């Protein structure tokens, strides 16, 4: 197989994968899990708190917060989960950037689901995973701040 033939094969395969993903998810979610926002770790010097949580589904989500005066100046994430977990983590960082800790504590799985224009029913648990992780991270921050 020539390089050109291989490249064409890969392009066609990628189109098929995205077509299937669009059957399972909406375009917004597919775009976020292919191009996540705020993916990665903050350095230990920059992170006010980090927290990792493994959900019942087996996916782990980890958030890294830089907090100043109870404002989330920066938030990033990583996950070992599926595309829906990646999109959910990404959406959470978009929602929380620049918000107060009080706002973050009130975030619900329904808020995340709505911002994602609707997760499939079998992936709504990803929003639950994100909310649990956020709330536990904030609790950890508050305990360590005292």
Kindly report, residue by residue over 29-63, the tens digit of the pLDDT: 999 999 999 999 999 999 999 999 999 889 999 99
CATH number, residue 119: 3.90.1010.10
Domain hosting residue 115, numbered range: 3-145
pLDDT at position 1, please?
82
- Report the number of secondary-structure helices (H) and strands (E) in the chain: 6, 3
Tens digits of per-residue pLDDT, 59-116?
999 999 999 999 999 999 999 999 999 999 999 999 999 999 999 999 999 999 999 9
Count: domains in the chain: 1
pLDDT at position 146, please?
63
pLDDT of 28 above 70: yes
Tens digits of per-residue pLDDT, 1-20?
899 989 889 889 888 888 88
Q: Which of the 8 DSSP states describes residue 61? A: E
Cα 138 to Cα 121: distance, rounded to the nearest angstrom: 27
């Amino acid at each position: 197989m020539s390089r050109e033939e291989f490249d064409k094969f890969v392009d066609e395969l990628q189109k098929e994968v995205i077509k299937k993903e669009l059957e399972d998810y909406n375009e917004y979610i597919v775009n976020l899990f292919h191009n996540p926002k705020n993916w990665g770790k903050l350095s230990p010097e920059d992170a006010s708190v980090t927290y990792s949580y493994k959900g019942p589904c087996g996916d782990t989500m980890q958030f890294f917060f830089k907090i100043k005066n109870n404002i989330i100046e920066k938030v990033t994430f990583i996950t070992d989960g599926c595309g829906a977990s990646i999109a959910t983590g990404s959406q959470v960082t978009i929602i929380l950037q620049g918000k107060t800790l009080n706002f973050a504590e009130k975030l619900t799985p329904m808020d995340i689901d709505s911002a994602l224009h609707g997760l499939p029913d079998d992936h709504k648990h990803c929003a639950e995973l994100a909310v649990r992780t956020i709330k536990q991270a904030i609790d950890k921050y508050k305990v360590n701040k005292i």
